Amino acid sequence: MKEFSPREQELLERLDWFVKLRWLFLLGLAALIFFSVRVFGLELDLHAIGPIAAAVLLYNIGFFVLHLFQSRFKRTPLSLRIEANLQIGLDLLALVLLIHVSGGIENPFIFFFIFHMIMGSILLSGRDIWYHAGATVFLLFLLLGLSYLGVISHYHIRGFASADLWNNEPYILAGAVAFGTTILMTVYMTNSITRSVRHRQDELLLAKGQIENKSRELEQANRELIRQQNLLVRSEKLASLGKLSAGVAHELNSPLTGIMNFSYFIRDACPEKEQVQLDVAVVIRETERCKKIIKGLLDFARQSEPEKRENDVLEILKKTIALVENHKDFREIEIIKDFDSGLPRLMLDRDQVQQVFMNLIVNAEEAMNGAGTLYVRAKPGPDGQSVVIMFRDNGPGMDEDTMRKIFDPFFTTKEMGTGLGLSVSMGIIVNHGGELEVESKKGGGACFTITLPANSGAGGRAAA
Ligand SMILES: Nc1ncnc2c1ncn2[C@@H]1O[C@H](COP(=O)(O)OP(=O)(O)OP(=O)(O)O)[C@@H](O)[C@H]1O
Ligand SMILES: [Mg+2]
């Protein structure tokens, strides 16, 4: 079904409500007839009233079914308006006939029309209800006139009103004038009330829409603020850590080289297969690990000074992939390359960007445990000036908690990892004015996206 405006939706609900109200009306009519005939002994012409009530019952079943299965129909605003006019129009006709066969002007229920007009004003728009009011007055006048002239027979309710009311001219005239003015005044008043209510409703809806827009904007601003705050905290952390690591790494480098060299001497001086040689091998392996950490720290500390030159980013990417493709760890990794041609040349520090690509590719390989598919996509950014490079693997992915921490220095889930790969990469991309984003879900692989801007000045954003 088509999406309706709030007002149309309200009309649809009211039409539904009208159908329910008509069931009540039919029940009320049955009770009224029962009491009139059985309790008060009035002589109603049930042969005339019965078919009219049956017709009301039938068309109400029709409307009921329509509402029950309306999701299957193509309901348009016009179809709603037609249905509203049909419901009010059919009720009007039924009421005129019921009044006619139950005494006409003798029947005090003639003022039920007022009720009918109030309901009509709720349902219909301004112009439509005036047509119905006109039709009501016209039909009633016609009924009184025709029965007065004897064109149609008059139904007198014996035992209720005097038998000559229907051709008593002053009574008919006074009744018709009272009826006509009451109907028109009622429609005028209810119509102006519903108009002003609708006007207020429109204003409220407008205000609601504006408030919703503003709250959406606020939410977005708030999200951006939190992002910037996280970034600030992270960059402050990175900056102080950078300074500290540079000093420590530098100091540790020479003693470690010494330990390595002397370990090699000891190993070479020991006879093979001796316990000492095996122990020294452990010292060498662990010292190498320390050196790897030191190298990471030095990379991390150096990351603030990229030497940018105009470069073809695709060429750097292809070269990095070529470096790993023949490596034994990548033997069971299928690398799908999806590169757009004619990407813009960018101002980049070639070595640093290559290091980022390498970190992401190696991370993917490690996540997939040496077997899987790595999809690498390079395309122009939405502005046509920047370049977007995406690395998507089908590894185990990460949960939200891990994802929040992966750019923190030293965060690692690997036994032999330093946890510096991504924080170094993030620093490099930020220094190129770009963005490094990650999308992942536990069990659903990971996707790292780098956006490098055309003017790769300092600044940029990082996001997890
Ligand atoms: N493609 C990936 N899929 C799943 N998890 C990943 C992926 N890339 C990174 N990670 C997670 O992020 C963590 C941090 O990665 P980062 O590259 O910074 O360090 P590392 O790979 O653990 O260590 P190093 O890079 O020194 O070998 C990883 O330990 C891993 O948990
Ligand atoms: Mg890594």
Give me ligand 1 centre to Cα 282, in Å: 25
Distance of CA 95 to the CA centre of its chain: 47
Q: How confident is the model at residue 375 (pLDDT cuts 50, 70, 90)?
A: very high
Sign of the Cα torsion 136, 140, 141, 142 reads positive
| pLDDT value of residue 354 | 92
Structure tokens at 179: 């009826």
- Residue 2 pLDDT exceeds 70: no
Q: Check: CB of residue 123 under 8 Å from CB of residue 15.
A: yes
Q: What is the dihedral of CA 269, 273, 276, 278, to 10 degrees?
A: 110
**Alpha-helix runs per DSSP H in 270-308:** 275-302
Of residues 444 and 271, more confidently modeled: 444
- Give me the amino acid identity at 191: N
Q: Which of 102-116, 231-245, 439-453 has the lowest mean pLDDT?
A: 231-245
| Overall pTM > 0.75 | no
- What distance, in Å, lies between the first and last C-alpha atoms of the chain? 40
| Three-class DSSP category at 153 | coil
Residue 411 alpha carbon, nearest atom of ligand 1: 14
pLDDT digits (tens, 9 = 90+) for 183-220: 889 889 888 888 888 889 889 989 999 999 999 999 99
- Give me the amino acid identity at 280: V
Give the whole-angstrom CA distance, residue 352 versus residue 350.
6
Q: Check: CB of residue 433 under 8 Å from CB of residue 461.
A: no
Radius of gyration of the chain measured on its C-alpha atoms: 43
- Residue 242 pLDDT exceeds 80: no
| pLDDT value of residue 346 | 93
pLDDT digits (tens, 9 = 90+) for 392-416: 999 999 999 999 999 988 899 998 8
Residue 406 in contact with ligand 1 by CB distance below 6 A: yes
Give the whole-angstrom CA distance, residue 380 versus residue 378.
7
Q: Which mutation among 363, 406, 428, 440 tests ligand 1's pocket best, with the greatest number of atoms within 8 A of CB?
A: 363
CA distances from 166 to 97, 111, 142, 143, 162 (A): 16, 16, 13, 11, 9
| pLDDT value of residue 461 | 39
| Residues 6+ away with beta carbon under 8 Å from 108 | none
| pLDDT value of residue 305 | 64
The hierarchical CATH code for the domain 306-464 is: 3.30.565.10
| Three-class DSSP category at 247 | helix
| pLDDT value of residue 402 | 94
Residue 414 in contact with ligand 1 by CB distance below 6 A: yes
Q: Check: CB of residue 443 under 8 Å from CB of residue 394.
A: no
Residue 417 in contact with ligand 1 by CB distance below 6 A: yes
CA distances from 292 to 37, 237, 361 (A): 105, 22, 18
Q: Check: CB of residue 280 under 8 Å from CB of residue 260.
A: no
With b for 16 or more beta-carbon neighbours within 10 A and e for fewer, the 218-246 pattern comes to eeeeeeeeeeeeeeeebeeebeebbeebb
Give me ligand 1 centre to Cα 456, in Å: 26
Residue 413 in contact with ligand 1 by CB distance below 6 A: yes
CB atoms within 10 A of CB 449: 17
| Residue reference for tokens 């790769």 | 456
**Alpha-helix runs per DSSP H in 102-168:** 112-123, 126-149
Give me ligand 2 centre to Cα 278, in Å: 29
CB atoms within 10 A of CB 382: 9
Residue boundaries of the structural domains of the chain? 6-167, 306-464
- Give me the amino acid identity at 48: A
